[in-house]
Amino acid sequence: MTSADIFHILARKEVADKAGRDDMDSKIKQAIFRQVAQEPFAKIFNLKLVDLDEGYSKVTMIFTPQMENIFGKAHGGALFALIDEAFETASNSHGTVAVALNMNVSYLATPVSGAELTAEAREINRTKKTAVYEIKVVAGENQLIASCQAMVYRMEKPLPFLEAAEPGKQG
């Protein structure tokens, strides 16, 4: 079974799982959306968080000429920024701090200038201390640009910006 097969099986499982469970805590979801909208790094690359659920995130960006390398192709750092934003938001979607331990990226194709790129991160395993994610970047509907497997360390402490989001709290 290839990693693409596993990814498609997980996508189908996610649809089935969503049908039988409640959505993630709305306070956590709103706080993460707010943080991404205010994040200086996300503004540099015009990264947009478009969907978020427990263990899942979808982030978009438009590939621009400013993101090209010396060969006029997509700079790996620009694609990594998109991948990392999806990874960051998916891994912190449980409401506790998660920090990256490892990321293994395969760059498979380069997008054309002006292409909308979408990164989807899906949790494929979670324990008390770690979690593993599969992140795919596509251009348009289905041109696979990059694939990543990444791991976080779960710190078992609440996201610091959740308290600031509560009424009556200063942040």
pLDDT for the residue 8? 52
Strand partners, 105: 148
pLDDT for the residue 11? 54
Counts of helices then strands in the chain (DSSP H, E): 5, 6
Supply the pTM of this predicted model: 0.83
Judge contact between 30 and 165, C-beta under 8 A: yes
Neighbours of 130 (CB within 10 A): 14
Which residue type sits at 139?
A
* Furthest CA-CA distance within the chain: 52
pLDDT for the residue 24? 85
pLDDT for the residue 21? 39
Provide the H-helix boundaries in 56-131. 76-91
Q: Note the pLDDT tens digit of each residue in 148-160.
A: 999 999 999 999 9
Quickly tell me which residue has 């696979």 as its tokens: 144
Please count the residues of the chain.
171
- CATH class of the domain whose range is 3-165: alpha beta
DSSP-based three-state secondary structure for 9: helix
pLDDT for the residue 23? 76
Provide the CA 136 distance to its chain's centre, in angstroms: 9
pLDDT for the residue 10? 56
Instruction: Give every residue of the chain whose pLDDT is below 70, as ranges.
Output: 1-22, 164-171
Strand partners, 131: 126, 152
- CA 57/CA 123 separation, integer angstroms: 9
Q: Note the pLDDT tens digit of each residue in 79-114.
A: 999 999 999 999 999 999 999 999 999 999 999 999
Q: At what angle do helices 26-38 and 76-91 cross, to 10 degrees?
A: 150
Q: Where are the domains of the chain?
A: 3-165
pLDDT for the residue 7? 55
